[in-house]
Amino acid sequence: MLRRRRQLLTKVSKLVDAGLFGLAFWLTHALRSLEYFDRADLIQDFDSYAWLLFVVVPLSTPILEAQGFYLRSILGSRRQTFSILARTAAWVSLAAITVLFFRKTEGARLIFALYIPVAVLLLWTKEELIRAWAIHRHGRELARRRVIIVGGRTDVAKLEKTLALQHFPDIEIVERVDLNEHPIEHLAHLLHTHSANAVLVAPRQTLFGQIERTIQLCELEGVEVWLLADFFQTRISQTTVDDFHGQPMLVFRSGPDASWQAMGKGIIDFIGSLGMIIALSPVMILAALAVRLSSKGPVFFRQQRAGLNGRAFTMLKFRSMVTNAEQLKQELAALNEMSGPVFKVTNDPRVTGVGRFLRKWSIDELPQLFNVLRGEMSLVGPRPLPLDEVARFDDLAHRRRLSVRPGLTCIWQVSGRNNVTDFKEWVRLDLEYIDNWSLWLDIKILLLTVPAVFTGAGAK
């Protein structure tokens, strides 16, 4: 895992751990209060102990870090994890008792007796949830980085051997390419086939011109390049210095970087999609019934769409067309209003009566909230396209729109330009979003989406 991403996740973990140590202190006080529920004179208000949070919370993560807690493997020894947590809780408890002693403040012994098991239980539960997610197939797929190694045959073999010996579970080598033997078009084909997240370049035995073409290809595709040295000038990518498990690395990135804002986007996606699924469940139930009763066929329309880096996923929608819509698409090709590989028709005759209503108010898109919840989509991002349309891109630069997760809504849908008929203009707006992305831009687009939905503006 690259250092910047690893450091970001470690910081988040520290914040969560510190919060859990503080929560454990409050829970301990609550449990003690329950024991004396019939003796009000012995129940001290939590306010009298709350100041100890300024001892417990700041001390917890440095003690964990000193014991190597944040250097462990997620799937490491449970015994080691338990031992570190128990020792940390004991040290934190001892520190709190020491502070009380020097302040000559009397404290309830039961609180400190309960604190250690409560703190260990909370932190242990968090670690087990993370372990379960890492073990689960869907979690492994989302966390793993699919990498293509590029370079001379000797350098590729040497680098692969190093990766194998050190066993990096978050890295999956999907292909190896010797640029001295294969043309750059072969790498482009492999990027599409494997939906690679990054290209790792070992440059020593590879001609500089070949490496430069590799970088230029990847920046057009929106795929990260990890290079061991700085040799070239790029047109789009931002170059950052990182390290790959101790080895210096240059990263050429033409999409958003891992950051606190990106972490915030993920949190908003999860909480927002879950909240909307709960809040809009009556609407979705009524929509499902309307689709089922109005026409023959399944309630949901499932289609393979291109996700992050072109990786296929099954996108969900309420079915708004007749069941043989895909077959009729060929007959309507002459009516296509969109230039390029995308198919778009106003007043599409394949749309059912109920489907037209669902589309007007964007209700047919609501099942995609489950795609957002699964991490396959985002609330805001370029709209996902069918795999066959992506395969017909005639300009590699168009694939850079795949460098971020597709979204439920995007910039052109809320900017008054949602009737675009030129695919190049559509892509330009998507790339404008990618190049200027910020968390505030996402929030702004989400806020503008609400009136766009309620007015049915631009619905097709």
In the structure encoding, which two tokens stand for residue 95, read together?
Answer: 């520190």
- One domain for residues 265 and 246: no
- One domain for residues 285 and 415: yes
- Alpha-carbon torsion (333, 339, 340, 346), positive or negative: negative
* 29 — pLDDT class (breaks 50, 70, 90): confident
The per-residue pLDDT for 38 is 43
- One domain for residues 300 and 361: yes
- One domain for residues 175 and 190: yes
- One domain for residues 31 and 177: no
* 42 — pLDDT class (breaks 50, 70, 90): very low
Instruction: Decide: residue 72, CB within 10 A, 0-12 exposed, 13-18 middle, 19+ buried.
Output: middle
Report d(CA 460, CA 438) in Å as an integer: 28
Report d(CA 101, CA 123) in Å as an integer: 27
Q: For the segment 359-389, what is each residue's pLDDT rounded down to a tens digit? A: 888 899 999 999 999 999 999 999 999 998 8
DSSP class of 112: H
Residue 68 lies in a domain: yes
The per-residue pLDDT for 382 is 93
DSSP labels, 189-226:
HHHHHHT-SEEEEE-TTS-HHHHHHHHHHHHHHT-EEE
Between these two residues, 228 and 429, which has the higher pLDDT value? 429
Residue 176 lies in a domain: yes
Report d(CA 74, CA 68) in Å as an integer: 13
Residue 37 reports pLDDT greater than 60: no
Instruction: Decide: residue 120, CB within 10 A, 0-12 exposed, 13-18 middle, 19+ buried.
Output: buried
Domain end, chosen from 206, 230, 253, is at 253
- One domain for residues 426 and 281: yes
Is there a contact between 368 and 297 (Cβ–Cβ < 8 Å)?
no
Report d(CA 148, CA 146) in Å as an integer: 7
Q: What is the CATH number of the domain that holds 189?
A: 3.40.50.720
Residue 409 zone, left/alpha/beta (φ > 0; ψ -120 to 50; rest): beta
Host domain of residue 451 = 260-455
One-letter amino acid identity for 38? D
Residue 460 lies in a domain: no
In the structure encoding, which two tokens stand for residue 197, read together?
Answer: 């997240």
- One domain for residues 332 and 187: no
- One domain for residues 376 and 421: yes
Report d(CA 199, CA 444) in Å as an integer: 33
Residue 460 reports pLDDT greater than 60: no
Between these two residues, 125 and 156, which has the higher pLDDT value? 125
Number of domains in the chain: 3
Residue 130 reports pLDDT greater than 90: no
- Spell out the residues 6+ positions from residue 63 whose beta carbon is closer than 8 angstroms to its own: 87, 88, 91, 92
Report d(CA 202, CA 249) in Å as an integer: 10
- One domain for residues 148 and 12: no
* 47 — pLDDT class (breaks 50, 70, 90): low
Report d(CA 378, CA 266) in Å as an integer: 8
Domain end, chosen from 253, 284, 310, is at 253
Domain end, chosen from 200, 234, 253, is at 253
- One domain for residues 164 and 131: no
pTM exceeds 0.75: no
- Spell out the residues 6+ positions from residue 218 whose beta carbon is closer than 8 angstroms to its own: 191, 199, 224, 225, 252
- 3-state secondary structure (DSSP) of residue 296: coil
The per-residue pLDDT for 40 is 46
Residue 139 reports pLDDT greater than 70: no
Tell me what the mean pLDDT of segment 77-100 comes to: 88
Is there a contact between 382 and 404 (Cβ–Cβ < 8 Å)?
yes
Q: For the segment 99-111, what is each residue's pLDDT rounded down to a tens digit? A: 877 777 665 666 7
DSSP labels, 318-333:
E--B-TTHHHHHHHTG
The per-residue pLDDT for 39 is 46
- One domain for residues 47 and 195: no
Is there a contact between 385 and 275 (Cβ–Cβ < 8 Å)?
no
Residue 277 lies in a domain: yes
- One domain for residues 22 and 162: no
Tell me the sheet residues that pair with 176.
149
- Spell out the residues 6+ positions from residue 359 whose beta carbon is closer than 8 angstroms to its own: 320, 351, 459, 460
Tell me the sheet residues that pair with 200.
149, 226
